[in-house]
Structure formats: structure tokens, C-alpha cells
Amino acid sequence: MIDTFRKIKKDFQAALSMDPAATSKLEVALTYSGFHALLFHRFAHWLGKKRIPFFPRALSQFARFLTGIEIHPGAAIGSGLFIDHGMGVVIGETTEIGDNVTLFQGVTLGGTGKQHEDRHPKIRRGVMIGAGAKILGNIEIGHCARVAAGSVVLKPVPHNTTVAGVPARVVGEAGCPEPARTMDQLFQDVDR
Ligand SMILES: CC(C)(COP(=O)(O)OP(=O)(O)OC[C@H]1O[C@@H](n2cnc3c(N)ncnc32)[C@H](O)[C@@H]1OP(=O)(O)O)[C@@H](O)C(=O)NCCC(=O)NCCS
């Protein structure tokens, strides 16, 4: 439970520090749907780990009703996740997300329908995933990678790499150790 509260604190700090539009702690606490969805998820995940039936899914669906963000209670999410705008984000059951990741609205971390059991993406620390990107299957997105808005990612992405397009291909290097933290969205040439 202490770990759950620690993560909630980091989620709050992430929203406050990452969003230039955030003007106060009160504003983040009361109006940030990404933070609200994570708040519900932290408790749903904790209940799920205690093997309590029904309530984790019920909490998850209630959060979806309130925020438009659907996070399966089974998803393992590190601290400091920032979900900007949020509407339409879907995070599947066996997804893993490292610390300090940023997701924009419309991101899907889903299955392909061809895999069973462990079937969702593994997102490592510091990754930024642009609006509307779809990452499908049990593939790894390496730390500090960036996924461009609207991309469909079907293959693993190496760390510190930027991918874009449908299907996604490498278009550059990620320009900083943790693009999710700096919001640095500038490409650098791969050959550089
Ligand atoms: C990937 C990203 C970080 C790169 O931004 P950038 O460094 O300014 O890149 P550029 O615009 O110079 O584009 C570089 C190349 O990638 C391509 N590209 C960039 N974004 C792309 C995208 N979303 N889909 C497909 N190709 C893309 C460009 O066409 C260009 O290709 P070219 O070299 O063949 O001309 C940015 O485009 C992005 O998608 N950010 C997500 C931000 C977001 O979701 N914001 C939502 C706020 S509500």
C-alpha cells in the first residue's frame, strides 16, 4: 500500500511538472483526467494483487466512464506516468510501463489478437508515445524511445530511437536521456 501511495504522489508530480498548462496543484488534483484514471488504477491494481474479485474491473470501468481512459487492473505501471489529455487511451491487461513515461490521448497499448496470455507491449522508462499511436503485441519499446503521433508499431523499438508511420519505422534518434521528461520532440538523424 505504501508503494501505491508513493506512485500516486509521483503521478501527481509528473502532471504538475510536465504540463506547461498546469497552473496549480489544485487544478491538477481536480481537473486532470489522466491523473484521476491513474488514481483509480493504482487502487484497482492493488485490489487485483490481493486477488479480490470483481471490484478491480468495476473500478477500472468506473474510471473509464469518468475519464474516457481504460486501464486494465492487471497492467503493471511504474511511477510518474503522465497521461496528457487522456481521452481514448487504452492499456491492456499484460502491459508493463516503466517509470517516467508520457502518453498522449488516443494511445492504444493492445494485443494483436494473435497472442494469448502475455500479449501486450512492454514500455521501458522515459518513453514518449504521441497522440493516437497504436502499439500492438508483446513487443518492447526501449527506454527513452519516442513513438510519433498516429504511428502503428508492430515490432520492437530500440532504446533512444524515434519511430513514425504505419507501420512504424525508425526515423531518428531520441535526442535526450528521457524525452518523456523534457518533452523534447526534435529528431536527430540516425547517421549522426
Ligand atoms: C515524432 C515527433 C516527436 C518528431 O517531431 P520533429 O522532431 O519535429 O520531426 P519533424 O516534423 O522534423 O519530422 C521528421 C520526419 O518524421 C516524419 N514524421 C514526424 N512525425 C510523424 C508522424 N506522426 N507520422 C509520420 N511521420 C512523421 C516527418 O514527415 C519527417 O519525415 P521526412 O524526414 O521524410 O521529411 C513528433 O512529430 C510527434 O509525433 N510528437 C508527438 C506529440 C504529440 O502527440 N502531441 C500531442 C499533443 S496534444
* Cα of 192 from ligand 1 centre, angstroms: 18
Q: What pLDDT does residue 129 have?
A: 98
Looking at residue 188, its pLDDT comes to: 45
Substitution site in 128, 171, 184 for ligand 1 pocket (most atoms within 8 Å of beta carbon) = 171
Q: Between 170 and 175, name the one with better pLDDT.
A: 170
Query: Which pLDDT tens digit goes with each residue over 5-44?
Result: 899 999 999 999 988 898 999 999 999 999 999 999 999 9
Cα 149 to middle of ligand 1, angstroms: 7
| 181 compared with 45, residue with greater pLDDT | 45
Is 8 in a helix, a strand, or coil?
helix
Q: What sign for the dihedral angle of Cα 181, 187, 188, 189?
A: positive
Taking the centre of ligand 1 as the mean of its atom positions, its distance from the CA of residue 115, in whole angstroms, is: 30
Residue 183 has pLDDT above 80, yes or no: no
C-alpha of residue 113 to centroid of ligand 1, in Å: 28
First to last CA, the chain: 46
Q: Which residue owns the Cα nearest ligand 1 atom 37? A: 148
Q: What is the pLDDT of residue 147?
A: 98
Give the pLDDT confidence of 63-95 residue by residue, as tens digits.
999 999 999 999 999 999 999 999 999 999 999
Whether 182 shows a pLDDT value over 90: the answer reads: no
Whether residue 192 has pLDDT greater than 50: no
Residue 188 Cβ inside 6 Å of ligand 1? The answer reads no
Closest CA to 14 of 128, 176, 132: 128
pLDDT of residue 140: 98
